[in-house]
Structure 1
Amino acid sequence: MRKVQKFFNTAGPIKPADHYNIDPLTRIELEEIESLIYQKKYFVLHAPRQTGKTSCLLALRDYLNARGEFYVVYANVEAGQAFRNNIHEVEQRFVGAIASRASIVLNNRIPYEVMEEAEKEREGFITSYLRLLSEALDKPLLLFIDEIDALVGDSLVSVLRQIRAGYDQRPQHFPQSIILCGVRDVRDYRIVTSNQDIVTGGSAFNIKAKSLHLGNFSREEIHELYLQHTATTGQEFDEGCFPMIWEATEGQPWLVNALGYEVTEEMRENRDRSIRIIPEMIYKAQERIIYRRDTHIDILIDKLREERVRNVIAPILAGEDGDVEEHLRDDDIQYVVDMGLIVRDKPLRIANAIYKEIIPRELTWARQQTLVQQAAWYINPDNSINMEKLLLDFQQFFRENADSWIERFDYKESGPQLLLQAFLQRVVNGGGYIDREYGLGRGRTDLLITKPLTDGYGGPLQRIVLELKIKRGDLEKTIAKGLEQTVGYMDRCGGVINEGHFILFNRDKSVCWDDKIWHRREEFGGRTITVWGM
C-alpha cells in the first residue's frame, strides 16, 4: 500500500500531518482571545457550519495547554441534542463529554471521580461538576464547549443558566474562561421551552462578554492552500483557476477544500500530477460537487424548506425591488446570514456562486425528474442546443401546465422562472452548464448556458444568454428595457455569445393564452434578440 500524501480536507477538523491547511491560529483574533481569557471572560465564537470552528478550538486548546498556565478542555456536546427537553439526560451527556476530554488532558481519572461527587450535590449537576472540577485542579480551567446550539428547549436554557450560576466563583471554584461555540451568536437564540415560552439567549446567558465571528478564507489564503498541493506533488494550477475558485466559493472553507479535493483526487485523470489544472477543470469539479449533493450541500438544501429561510430567499430569487428588505424580519435575515447562505451587502445577496446555483437547481429538482423531455430531442448534429425548438416546446408545455406546476413550488413568486430553469436543466444535464444571475432589485433572472461541442478541454463552445422577467406594466416598455438588459448581460459575459433570448412571463389571468404565447426577433445594440411571450 502506497503512502497517502497530504490532501484537501472535507470532513471534520484538520490534522496538519494529513491535510493541506491554513494555520487555524491565524484565522482567529488570537491576541484578543488571550486578552479575554486573562480577563476571565466568557464569550462566543460562531460561524456557519464547516468553516473550521472546531479546528480553531482544537488548535487554541493545544497552543494554550503547551504554555502550561491552564488546563484547557475542549468538549463537543452535540450528543445531547437527541434528548431535547430531557434535562437530566442532556446534563449527563454534557458533563460526560467534558469528563472524557478532561481526563485526556489531565491524564488521570479525576474528572470521572468528580462526576460521581457532583451527582450527590443539591445544586444543578453542571454547576456542581464545574465547581468541583475547578477546585480539584492546581491550575485554572478553561473550557471550550462546541456545538452548544445543537441543544434545544428546556435543556439549552438549563445549561446556559447553570453556567451562569457559577460565573461569580471563577477562577478558583469555576472555569476561569468559557468559550461557547456554534453557528449562531447566543444573543440570537430564541429558545422555545416545553411550555411554549420564548427565552432569548441573551437573557439566559447575560454574562457573555463578546461575540467573535470566524470568517472565510481570503483570496491569499486560497492561493496559499492550493500551492501547498503544488509544493507536495508538483502538480501546478493555472493562475486563471484562482479567480474562478474565489467567485465560486468566496472563501467558504468547505467549498474551497471540496473543489480542491474534487479536481485533484475525485477527477481520476488528474491524479497524474504532470497534468496542469486549468479553469475548465475547476468548473467541471464545481458541477460535480453540486450534482452529487454532498453533506454540506444537503444541509443547506434542507434549510430551504424552513419558512423563515423562504421568507428571505424568495424575494432574492424573484429579483424583487430592493426595498422589500425593509419589510423582512431582521431575525429571519440574521438566521439566514448565520447559516452562511446570504451576506448582508446592499442589497442582500446569496453568499457565493455555488450556493446561487444550488438554490434554484434544488428547488426544481423534483420537477426535473417528472419531465419527459430528453436532451437528445434538442441537440443538433454538431452537438449544439437547438434553443428555438426547445423554447417553442416550453411555450406549449407552459401553456398546458403552468398553473398546476407552479402551485407545487414552495417558492411560488419565482415559479415561472424556476419552471423554465427545470426544463433547461433537464436538457443541459446532457452535457453543459448554466450560470445564473439573480438578486434583490434586479427584477429579472439572467442565464448563461455554456455547451461544449466536443469532448475534452479547450474545444469550441456554444454560449446562449437568456433573460427571464415577469411582465409588470406596459408591454412595449417592458420589452424595450428587457432588450437593453439582455444585451448588457451578453456584453458582460464577454467572448462569443451565439444567441440571446428575452423571455417575458405574463401572469395576468384575464389575458387569454393565445395572446400570451408569441415570439419575434428584435435588433438592439447590433445584436439580434429573440423575444418570447409566455
Structure 2
Amino acid sequence: MTRVPKFFNTAGPIQPDIHYNIDPLTRIDLEELESLIYQRKYFVLHAPRQTGKTSCLLALRDYLNARGEFYAVYVNVEAGQASRNLKDEVSRHVIGSLAERMRLVIQNDMPLELVREVVESTSPSEYITVYLRRLCESLDRPLLVFIDEIDALVGDSLVGVLRQIRAGYDERPAHFPQSIILCGVRDVRDYRIVLSNQDIITGGSAFNIKSESLRLGNFTREEIRELYLQHTAATGQEFDESCFPMIWTATEGQPWLVNALGYEVTSRMKENRDRSIRIIPEMIYRAQEQIIYRRDTHIDILIDKLREERVRRVIGPILANEDGEVEAHLQDDDIQYVVDMGLIVRDKPLRVSNAIYKEIIPRELTWARQQTLIQQSAWYMNPDNSINMEKLLLDFQQFFRENADSWIERFDYKESGPQLLLQASLPLAVEGRNFTFMDAIHFIFVVWIVFLPLSLS
C-alpha cells in the first residue's frame, strides 16, 4: 500500500494515520473521566464546534474497549435534527443509529435484532428506555454510551430523548448503561427548549441526573508547536521561530483555526509545497487572510450565529469598544451562550476570542454594504502599486463626516457603526492590491492616529 503523506486536518474527526494531531486523550482529564465512569455518573462534555470533541469521544471509546472491562459505544444523533418535533421518529432514529454502532463493537447483529423487537412491542415514547434496558441485559459487561451532537436535537424530540435516558437511570449498571456522556456545544443546563405547545423548559429540568459538566479547551502554545513540528519532522520543512507567536495571536489555540492555518500555508500555497522553503511570518499572515476571505464552513457557522438576538446583545457592545462595565448590563445566560459558541472569552472586559474572529466578525457584518461602496483606487496608490495609507484614511475621514449618519442606520449593529463602516470600506481598497505584511502594520498605526480622534469627536 502506498503511504499517504500526513496533513493538517480541517474536516471531521482526526485519523492519526493521515493527520498531524495532538493525542485526544491528552486533551481531556482521563483520570477524572474514568473516576466518573466508575462512580456510574451521567455527565456532559461540551465545547465550541470543531474543537475536537468527537475525536476525544472516539479515542476514549477505543481506549476503554481495548481494556475489555466495558462495552463503550459512540453514537451521533445529529441526523435526528431533520425530524425536529417528531419525537417518535427521532427516538427510532436514535436506537437505529445506536444499534448500527453497537454491532461494530460486539461484531454481531444482536443489536439490530433488538431494534426490531422493541419497535414491534413498545410504545414509541419508550423506544430508547426499553432498547437500552434490553441491550444491557444482553451484554456480559457494563455498557457505556457516548451521545454526540445531542444539542442538534430540538424541542419535543430533545426533551423526549433526555427524559427516556433519565427514566432508566436507577437501573444501572445491570439493566441500563453504567455511564452516559452527552456531548455538544453547550452544557445541558443551558438548553432553553421550546416545546410544540410553546412552553419553555430548561435542559436541567429534563435531565436532572447530570453530575458533572466538563469543557474541552483549546490547544496550548506548546501543543501548537508540537502539531506544527510534526510537519517539520515528516517533511523537513521548517517554520521560522517567529511564526509561533503569530499563530497563537491569530488563533489563541482554537483547533480548527490552528489546523486551517497549517494546511493553508503548507498545502494550499502551491509554492510552499516545495519543502525546502522555510515558512516565515508573512506567509502565515497571507494564510490568515485567505482563510478569512474564503469563508469556509467553520466561518459560515460562526457568521450565522451573529444573526441571533442574544448573540447581538453581547457582541454589539464589544464591537463598540465599550468599557468593562458593559458586562454588568448583560444577562449572564447570554454571555455564557456566546462563550459556549466560542465567539468570546470572559476576560475583563469581555473580548472576541482571537484575532481571526475579531477580523471576521466586522467584515461579515458589513459584507452587503461593501458591495454598494464604490472606490476609485488610482489616486491613493503609490507608484509601486502599494497603498498610500494616509491618503486612504484621510479620505475615509472626510467621507465619514459627510455620510456617517445615513450609512450607520443600515447596519444591524448600530452601536458599532463607525468601526463597521471603516471595515466595509477597507477590503475594497486592499483587494487585489500589493498589500504586504508591513502595509498591515502601517495600517494599524494610521487607524490609531487618524480614526480614533474621529470616532471620539
Distance 1:203 1:462 in 2: 54
- Residues paired across the two proteins, number: 455
Q: Which residue of 2 aligns with 1:85?
A: 85
SS of 2:257's equivalent in the other structure is helix
One-letter identity of the residue aligned with 1:290: I
Alpha-carbon separation, structure 2, partners of 1:131 and 1:61:
20
Query: CA separation in 2, counterparts of 1:2 and 1:126?
Result: 44
Q: CA deviation at 1:36?
A: 0.7
Instruction: Find the counterpart in structure 2 of residue 451 from structure 1.
Output: 439
Distance 1:387 1:249, change over 3 A: closer
The superposition leaves residues 149-193 of structure 1 with CA deviations (integer Å, 9 ceiling, x where unpaired) of 000001101100000000000111111110000000011111111
Cα distance in 2, alignment partners of residues 382 and 139 from structure 1: 73
SS at match of 1:210: strand
- 1:466–1:503 CA contact under 8 A, matched in 2: no
**Aligned match of 2:143:** 141
Q: Among 432, 445, 450, which residue is 1:465 paired with? A: 445
Asked if residue 12 in structure 1 is aligned to residue 6 in structure 2, the reply is: no
- Determine the C-alpha separation between the residues in 2 that align with 1:301 and 1:404: 25
CA distance in structure 2 between the partners assigned to 1:41 and 1:430 by the alignment: 56
Q: Is 1:337 equivalent to 2:339 in the alignment?
A: yes
Equivalent residues of 2:418, 2:455 under 8 A apart: no
1:326 is aligned to 328
Q: Within 1, Cα distance between the matches of 2:75 and 2:435?
A: 43
Counterpart residue number, 1:121: 122
Which residue number corresponds to residue 218 of structure 1?
220
Q: Deviations over 1:413-469 (max 9, x none)?
A: 1112211221122112233669xxxxxxxxxxxxxx9428xxxxxxxx8555244xx
The equivalences for 1:373-522 within 5 A come to 373-431=375-433, 450-451=438-439, 465-467=445-447, 486=448, 500-505=449-454
Of the two structures, which has the highest relative contact order with CA contacts closer than 8 Å and spacing of 6 or more?
2
In the TM superposition, what is the alpha-carbon distance from 1:505 to its structure 2 partner? 4.3
SS at match of 2:450: strand
Who wins on radius of gyration, i.e. which is larger?
1
- The 5-angstrom pairing of residues 187-226 of structure 1 reads 187-226=189-228
Q: Deviations over 1:4-41 (max 9, x none)?
A: 30000000000110100000011111011111111111
- 1:2 is displaced (CA, Å) by 7.3
Contact 1:466 1:501 in 2 (8 A): yes
Contact preservation (8 Å) 1:431, 1:451: no
Normalising by structure 1, what TM-score? 0.82
Go from structure 1 to structure 2 and tell me whether the alpha carbon gap of 1:388 and 1:275 turns closer, same or farther (over 3 Å shift).
closer
Q: Which protein is richer in helix relative to its size?
A: 2
Would the aligned equivalents of 1:47 and 1:182 in 2 still touch at CA under 8 Å?
Answer: yes
Q: Distance in 2 between matches of 1:125 and 1:403?
A: 59
Between 378-387 and 81-90, report the one with greater CA deviation. 378-387
Is the CA contact (8 Å cut-off) linking 2:149 and 2:183 kept in structure 1? Answer: yes
Q: Which one of the candidate residues 280, 284, 294 is aligned to 1:282? A: 284
Task: Give me the whole-angstrom Cα distance separating, in 2, the residues matched to 1:268 and 1:303.
Answer: 33
Distance 1:320 1:224 in 2: 37
Q: What's the % identity of the aligned pairs?
A: 77
Deviations 1:233-285 (A, max 9, x none): 01111111111111111110000000000000000100000001111111110
Structure 2 residue matching 1:7: 3-state secondary structure: coil
Amino acid at match of 1:138: D
* CA-CA distance at 1:400 after TM superposition: 4.8
Number of the residue aligned with 1:241 = 243
Contact 2:73 2:102 in 1 (8 A): yes
- Counterpart of 2:166 in structure 1 is 164
Instruction: Provide the residue aligned with 2:261 in structure 1.
Output: 259
Partner of 1:437: none
Q: CA deviation at 1:377?
A: 3.6
Q: Would you say 1:50 and 2:50 are equivalent positions?
A: yes
User: Could you tell me whether the CA contact under 8 Å between 1:384 and 1:462 is conserved in 2?
Assistant: no
1:53-74 deviations in Å (ceiling 9; x for gaps): 0000000000100111111110
Match of 1:68 in 2: 68
Asked if the contact 1:380–1:386 (Cα under 8 Å) also holds between the matched residues in 2, the reply is yes
User: Is residue 386–residue 433 contact of structure 2 (8 Å, CA) maintained in 1?
Assistant: no
**Any idea what the Cα deviations from partners look like across 1:297-349, whole Å, max 9, x if unmatched?**
11001111111111001101001121111010111100000000101111111
The one-letter amino acid paired with 1:118 is: V
Native 8 Å contact 1:146 1:180 kept in 2: yes
Greater strand percent: which structure? Answer: 1
Aligned ranges 1:147-186 → 2 under 5 Å: 147-186=149-188
**Partner SS for 1:43:** strand
1:141 and 1:226 map into 2 onto residues whose CA distance is 38
**TM-aligned CA deviation for residue 399 of structure 1:** 4.7
**Aligned alpha-carbon RMSD (Å):** 1.9
> In the alignment, residue 111 of structure 1 is paired with which amino acid?
P
- Give yes or no for contact 2:44–2:187 (8 Å, CA) kept in 1: yes
In the other structure, the counterpart of 2:371 is 369
Structure 2: give runs of 5+ residues left out of the alignment.
Answer: none
Deviation at 1:93, TM superposition (A): 1.1
Relative distance call for 1:335 and 1:371 in structure 2 (3 A) is same
31 and 391 in structure 1: CA distance in 2 versus 1, 3 angstrom threshold:
closer
1:305 and 2:307 equivalent? yes
Retained in 2: the 8 A contact 1:126–1:162?
yes
The secondary structure found in structure 2 opposite 1:403 is helix
Whether the 8 Å contact between 2:393 and 2:446 is mirrored in structure 1 is no
Structure 2 counterpart SS, 1:501: helix
Give the Cα separation in 2 of the matches to 1:433 and 1:410.
Answer: 29
Q: Which residue of 2 aligns with 1:357?
A: 359
Amino acid at match of 2:370: Q
Letter in 2 for 1:50: Q
Question: Following the alignment from structure 2 to structure 1, what is the Cα–Cα distance between the partners of residues 377 and 97?
Answer: 53
Instruction: Give the structure-2-normalised TM-score.
Output: 0.95
Corresponding position of 1:527: none
- Give deviations 1:389-418, integer Å, cap 9, x for gaps: 434543453355323321111100111221
SS, match of residue 425 in structure 1: helix
